[in-house]
């Protein structure tokens, strides 16, 4: 199975900050890397697919980059509504695997 | 609109079985795989398996082989996930989701989740 490792596990930032979360795959996954946002009591919500493609309706302050094994999610100009846990996921191979999550606090 | 609506919360005794439904609407049910993911309290996301609603073929995560069945009823656009021999560590929220090939098979639509508590 492909292991996905996110860092940091938690992060405290201020409104207006630029925040970066990293995700590393245990083997190459090309760009089959997705980012989800999950708020308490809710289902995950897809933000970015195939490493760098912003899903329609997602604010442009979210961006993603990377390929191979190393990926980043960047939130520029952090807003209060961005408080959530963020997960990366690979869809290159089955089983689909998720990172352990990064809890973002403001 | 495109949505997945899951069945309601369940409380089960250890050793019992569970069947969660996931009803699709707003799109062609047989055109997209249904994925199942669970989340234990305070924990991360665990992929359980996927169902091809067109063929009925299911592929399960190794951890769940022999204990999970994924089925569907195309006449009512509904997928099911059945989990047997429940233990306390099966207490979790169970999600169904659709994957979308155009998005690199990312899970673009999620059900609201079904909370399952296993306790004697």
Per residue of chain A (106 residues), what is the pLDDT tens digit? 999 999 999 999 999 999 999 999 999 999 999 999 999 999 999 999 999 999 999 999 999 999 999 999 999 999 999 999 999 999 999 999 999 999 999 8
Please provide residue A93's backbone torsions phi and psi, each rounded to the nearest 5 degrees: -135, 160
A72 touching B (Cβ < 8 Å) = no
User: Is A55 close to B99, i.e. CB distance below 8 A?
Assistant: no
Residue B111 has pLDDT above 90, yes or no: yes
Of A45, A55, A96, Cβ closest to residue B47: A96
Q: How far apart are CA A72 and CA A20, in angstroms?
A: 7
* Residue B118 to chain A, least CA–CA distance (Å): 19
In this structure, how many other beta carbons lie within 10 angstroms of the beta carbon of residue A28?
A: 12
Closest CA to B106 of A50, A54, A104: A50
Q: Pick the residue of A91, A97, A98 with the most B CBs within 10 A to test the interface with B by mutation.
A: A91
* Residue A104 to chain B, least CA–CA distance (Å): 14
Of B45, B59, B108, Cβ closest to residue A46: B108
Of A46, A55, A101, Cβ closest to residue B44: A101
Residue B36 has pLDDT above 90, yes or no: yes
Q: How far apart are CA A84 and CA B81, in angstroms?
A: 28
The pair of three-digit structure tokens given for residue A12, joined into one six-digit string: 């405290």
The pLDDT of residue B101:
87
Residue B120 pLDDT class (50, 70, 90 cuts): confident
Per CB-CB distance under 8 Å, the chain A contacts of B61 are: 95
Residue B23 has pLDDT above 90, yes or no: yes
Cis ω before A95 (30° cut-off from 0):
yes
Contacts of A42 (CB under 8 A, 6+ apart): B113
DSSP state at residue B114:
E
Distances (CA, A) of A11 to A85, A101, A102, A104, B31: 10, 11, 7, 5, 39
Rounded to an integer, the average pLDDT of B2-19 is 97
Per CB-CB distance under 8 Å, the chain A contacts of B112 are: 43
User: Is B99 close to A91, i.e. CB distance below 8 A?
Assistant: yes
**Burial of residue A75 (number of CB atoms within 10 Å: 0-12, 13-18, 19+):** buried
Of B61, B107, B111, Cβ closest to residue A46: B107
Q: ∠ at Cα A53 (A48, A56), nearest 5°?
A: 75
Rounded to an integer, the average pLDDT of B28-52 is 97
The pLDDT of residue A106:
85
Task: Yes or no: say if B71 and B79 are a contact pair by the CB < 8 Å rule.
Answer: yes
A55 touching B (Cβ < 8 Å) = yes
B3 touching A (Cβ < 8 Å) = no
Dihedral Cα B69, A25, A82, B37, nearest 10 deg? 0
């Amino acid at each position: 199975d492909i292991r996905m490792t996110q860092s940091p596990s938690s992060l405290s930032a201020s409104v207006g900050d630029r925040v970066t979360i990293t995700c590393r795959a245990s083997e190459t996954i090309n760009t089959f890397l997705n980012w989800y946002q999950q708020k308490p009591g809710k289902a995950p919500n897809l933000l970015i697919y195939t490493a760098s493609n912003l899903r329609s309706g997602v604010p442009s302050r979210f961006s993603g980059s990377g390929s191979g094994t190393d990926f980043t999610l960047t939130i520029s100009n952090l807003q209060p509504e961005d408080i959530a846990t963020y997960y990366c996921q690979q869809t290159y191979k089955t089983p689909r695997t998720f990172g352990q999550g990064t809890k973002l606090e403001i | 609109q495109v949505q997945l609506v899951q069945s309601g919360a369940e409380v089960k005794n250890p050793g019992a079985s569970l069947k969660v439904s996931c009803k699709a609407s707003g799109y062609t049910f047989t055109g997209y795989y249904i994925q199942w993911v669970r989340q234990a309290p305070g924990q991360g996301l665990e992929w359980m398996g996927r169902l091809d609603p067109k063929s009925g073929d299911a592929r399960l995560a190794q951890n769940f082989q022999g204990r999970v069945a994924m089925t569907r009823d195309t006449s009512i656009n509904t997928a099911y996930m059945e989990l047997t021999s429940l233990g306390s560590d099966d207490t979790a929220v169970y999600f169904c989701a659709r994957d979308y090939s155009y998005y690199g098979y990312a899970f673009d639509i999620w059900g609201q989740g079904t909370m399952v508590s296993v306790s004697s």
